Structure 1
């Protein structure tokens, strides 16, 4: 990689990191192009050069956060030996990510249906589909072994990810009295009961 390419990647990374910081400290209302350029010290022209628009930057940040979350969950799955331990690892990895990377988790949950993601909607869908395919393959192998009840993939996704995402969302909102450590202990078994063979 040439020095120019390295500088370009460093600038793009600085913009993404600054954008997440701005979102975390100022919320959706304060998440503006002016705030990000001021926080990063990068010019507006450079932001547009790297991301095409502010919406492009937001979409790239969403993609980055999504990849980080799924990479942690997939790594946890691959370290597991059984369907039950895999589900536990997946749930706990999601909730651990929420705590350890609160800013990224907040951005993911609060921005999921924001208009500013439209600029990268196809890319975001492609990234999610690729990551979910890895999880689906892991689940399918357990279904074939008779370790998980044979349900359609999207329904399994709802049964596994729905409760975990909702627990994380409630914890992030700080308006609910939800103990995430307790959720990490109890949710895996509750989810397992909905997926184990009779």
Structure 2
């Protein structure tokens, strides 16, 4: 990598780090191109050079936060020895990510419905695809052995991730009655029971 490419990568990282910090400190209302350039010390022209626009920067940050979440889940899943411990690991890792870095989790959940994301959905999906495929590749032998319920991959993924993602979304939005510590105690086993196969 040439010195120019290294500087470019450093600028991209600085912009993404600053964007997350601005979002963490000011929330969606204060998340603006002016705030990010001021926090990063990077010029507006350089931001546009590297990302094309502020929406592209936000989409890149969304993609980075999402892949960090999935990597945290996969790291825990890779150490699981059984179908039950694997399911529980996914749920626990997701909730721990939300609890330990709520700014990233909040960005994922708040911006998942942003108007600019559909135009960039293919890029984000490309980053997610190998990680979701690894998750499903872990599940398939357990499905074949009857330890996990036999469902098409998208439905299996929804049962595995959907309940915990909705719990996280409500907690991040300040939903009354959502206790993350209690969720960490209750949900892993409940999700396992919903996915348990006849030999599980």
Q: TM-score, normalized by length of structure 1? A: 0.95
What is aligned with 1:53?
53
Checking the alignment, whether the CA contact within 8 Å between 1:51 and 1:57 is kept in structure 2 is yes
Task: Please give the alpha-carbon distance, in whole angstroms, between the structure 1 residues aligned to 2:54 and 2:85.
Answer: 41
What is aligned with 1:38?
38
Judged with a 3 Å threshold, the aligned counterparts in structure 2 of structure 1 residues 70 and 102 are, in CA distance, closer, same or farther, namely same
Task: Give 5+ residue unaligned stretches, structure 2.
Answer: none
What is aligned with 2:165?
165
Task: Please give the alpha-carbon distance, in whole angstroms, between the structure 1 residues aligned to 2:60 and 2:189.
Answer: 35
Q: Deviations over 1:2-49 (max 9, x none)?
A: 222222111111100111111222222221111111111110001011
What SS does the aligned partner of 2:56 have?
helix
Task: Give 5+ residue unaligned stretches, structure 1.
Answer: none
Checking the alignment, whether the CA contact within 8 Å between 1:98 and 1:168 is kept in structure 2 is yes
Judged with a 3 Å threshold, the aligned counterparts in structure 2 of structure 1 residues 172 and 61 are, in CA distance, closer, same or farther, namely same
What is aligned with 1:93?
93
What SS does the aligned partner of 1:116 have?
coil
Q: Deviations over 1:136-191 (max 9, x none)?
A: 11111210122101112111111111110011112211232322121111111111
Q: Deviations over 1:57-86 (max 9, x none)?
A: 011101111110001101111100000000
What SS does the aligned partner of 2:48 have?
helix
What is aligned with 1:109?
109
What is aligned with 1:70?
70
Checking the alignment, whether the CA contact within 8 Å between 1:55 and 1:119 is kept in structure 2 is no
Checking the alignment, whether the CA contact within 8 Å between 1:143 and 1:150 is kept in structure 2 is yes
- 2:178 aligned with 1:178: yes
Q: TM-score, normalized by length of structure 2? A: 0.94
Checking the alignment, whether the CA contact within 8 Å between 1:59 and 1:119 is kept in structure 2 is no
What is aligned with 1:193?
193
Task: Please give the alpha-carbon distance, in whole angstroms, between the structure 2 residues aligned to 1:116 and 1:34.
Answer: 18
Task: Please give the alpha-carbon distance, in whole angstroms, between the structure 1 residues aligned to 2:88 and 2:35.
Answer: 40
What is aligned with 2:81?
81
What SS does the aligned partner of 1:42 have?
coil
Checking the alignment, whether the CA contact within 8 Å between 1:56 and 1:119 is kept in structure 2 is no
Task: Please give the alpha-carbon distance, in whole angstroms, between the structure 2 residues aligned to 1:85 and 1:15.
Answer: 38
